[in-house]
Structure 1
């Protein structure tokens, strides 16, 4: 059974999302430790959401409430949040609805900026992390791989992401009123993580040429060399931060990297100097009280609120960006949702068919055991020219064709139990539970061959 519980910009405050995101790497292993019924867990954590996808060992009709409560408690423990508050905040989906939800998330339909492109990569990296941690399962693998396929289909077949919309681009759109001339603007990029490259590309699209980068983790040099810009040293960081027109922070650091103290220290240094250092920025007398805009794309927050106490400084953070997120483009969104729902139904149908696999194999074994016995009996009577064997195999294929087709039809309508009950009533076949573990892709492909024609399946 698949379960998902999630907190996002739609149902949780940024303080809670910040705490959840900061501890996301510890969540999946802790969830697995919390209850024996949890077979696997994949956690998706971005700047606007935290989601846990669980694969539970639970019988049909059983209640997963106890397991889910334990999983939420585990998340609360690693994030330092109250489990009761999380239960009231999280949204929950289960069964086939899990696929529809993840496919929608991966396609950008649930993002602050509908259609933003970064989320698909974040979903893929979440699965990669689960593989590294050893917390995924075959069913979760299938779910996340299908989600990536759906997101690509939405991107290729709709106009949802045609303009390359993202948080970065929306933030710069909102900054238009504060930046007089992008071509003359000086920018400090803080961070070399997931948004840094997108931020730099979006700035260059607007004509910005004067960009430098600083990394709290010391990776600025490598990033700068790869993108043709200058790196800022720790010694110069405060002065540069105080001198530029725009600061864009997009680091995953677990501490605030821009605050009031940093900017005031930089302004003091500038006031004592006759001109700015030659680091690719504007070489002119320092303007200590210049107007500055700080865009904080980090989660946890990269920028302390006290920067607003510094004269001339404005702050644009994720909460502000969320308020100004544009309305959905209905035509493109409707097309994207149609793709998501179609793919989610197909995912559910294939899952229901897989549940029938043990019974399908049991029927095939029953028929072909009889077939082999009859072929052996014919051979013992001297019929060894092959015609009897060919006729018997053809007949077996004809007999199996309709039951196999009906098995898929009933599975897709959610009535696979009728097929299993009929199998036991007519043939006395009750597939052993352990047979499910022995079903591989070969059996599945053989079943597909049955539907393609009786003669082929018998050969």
Structure 2
């Protein structure tokens, strides 16, 4: 069997947040995703693997020569961790070869995101690739695939308007806050988390106008650095309840794998500010804020799935660039597909020539034994050997050239399958060439 590129995953279009937050990578620290996930995958079954995880998707890309069994293993990988049971696997999607390639290229081009043209996704894909490379789970196929996909993403942003005025999830959260509060002027904002999402939320708030931003996180120096960056304030995490009682808006954006703001703590804070409303927007996955908080009087709670309404209102301009992006995507996928088919053809063609050479050598030896009574000299034997080699070369030259031509034309896969079937060629995973 030939190596095949595989994909299994879920995203914001197939799974609600209560499913996504229990997908396997989120039970461990984000920095250890590739290490923890790929360590559970059988390297004898999956020769390459890479995990892509963002707030809106968890996907495992892999390479295997045993497609059915490998896909089952990847799907099972989502069920082995806590909270993600087998029935929830209905939210998973899977793809192989070209369909998997097209999906990844769409992701890097920003057209498979909650926020059309999202600028963060390209960096997230790059980090996933770098992390898996550091763990040595990326081989030649996934290396080439992700390099090509990132190139497509760069082209989409450089050659079209898909990224013009593009939002991020944090930007959409601030827009939702403005929509719900009417204005952010004078608003007291508490940001939970000083990572990438928290930083973008703080920057968007700082650019928006006159609002007081307070940052808190378990590592105070990180909160202080972000607060200074946006001319805001930092508060120790131990004083969260006090800061909560003074806030009009709270944005949850930490990378914690569990809730950090429970309903009882919110209820206590609300008792100190009777009838004063509190808006909670949780853009973290897994969620930072207890969903039960929605039952507390004067509290409004929204999570990342609620941002869709805001996104739809602002995507019209970028929507016009979608056709151009899809054209780039199709071109880049086709280029990679031809490389991929040629790579798959190489071991088959090599196996064919190896088989032919073995037959030639055996028949040559048999013929020379039959002619032994003629006492042929070395020169005559070399002439016969050259004749046999020439026959093999001439017979295989045209089929090989035609196969390569069909690969270039994009219809080579049936010929690859026929070649393998007709000559019963068994190609091992290791028989790949760059």
Alignment TM-score, normalising by the size of structure 2: 0.76
2:109 is the alignment partner of 1:107:
yes
Q: In structure 2, the residue corresponding to 1:44 is in which secondary structure?
A: strand
Q: Structure 1 unaligned segments of length 5 or more: list them.
A: 59-63, 272-286, 367-400, 441-459
Q: Is the 8 A contact 1:245 1:293 kept in 2?
A: yes
Bigger RCO of structures 1 and 2 (CA < 8 A, at least 6 apart): 2
How far the C-alpha of 1:404 sits from its partner, in A, is: 9.1
Moved more, 153-162 or 175-184: 175-184
How far the C-alpha of 1:228 sits from its partner, in A, is: 3.9
Q: Is the 8 A contact 1:22 1:79 kept in 2?
A: no
How far the C-alpha of 1:411 sits from its partner, in A, is: 1.8
2:40 is the alignment partner of 1:39:
no
How far the C-alpha of 1:117 sits from its partner, in A, is: 1.7
For residues 23-422 of structure 1, what are the structure 2 equivalents within 5 Å? Answer: 23=27, 25=33, 28-33=37-42, 36-58=44-66, 64-86=67-89, 88-218=90-220, 219-267=222-270, 271=272, 288-322=274-308, 324-326=310-312, 329=316, 330-357=319-346, 408-412=404-408, 413-415=410-412
Quickly say closer, same or farther: Cα 1:264–1:322, change in 2 above 3 A.
Answer: same
Which residue in 2 is equivalent to 1:281? none
Quickly say closer, same or farther: Cα 1:434–1:36, change in 2 above 3 A.
Answer: closer
The two structures, once aligned, show a CA RMSD in angstroms of 3.4
How far the C-alpha of 1:297 sits from its partner, in A, is: 0.3
Structure-1 separation of matches of 2:261 and 2:61: 34
Q: Is the 8 A contact 1:184 1:208 kept in 2?
A: yes
Q: Structure 2 unaligned segments of length 5 or more: list them.
A: 357-396
Alignment TM-score, normalising by the size of structure 1: 0.72
Provide Cα deviations, 1:310-339, integer angstroms capped at 9, x if missing partner.
Answer: 332211212322355417644211211221
Structure-2 separation of matches of 1:44 and 1:82: 21
Q: Is the 8 A contact 2:216 2:236 kept in 1?
A: yes
Which residue in 1 is equivalent to 2:387? none
Q: How many residue pairs get matched?
A: 378
How far the C-alpha of 1:19 sits from its partner, in A, is: 0.2
Which residue in 1 is equivalent to 2:8? 5
Q: In structure 2, the residue corresponding to 1:294 is in which secondary structure?
A: strand
Structure-2 separation of matches of 1:437 and 1:94: 20
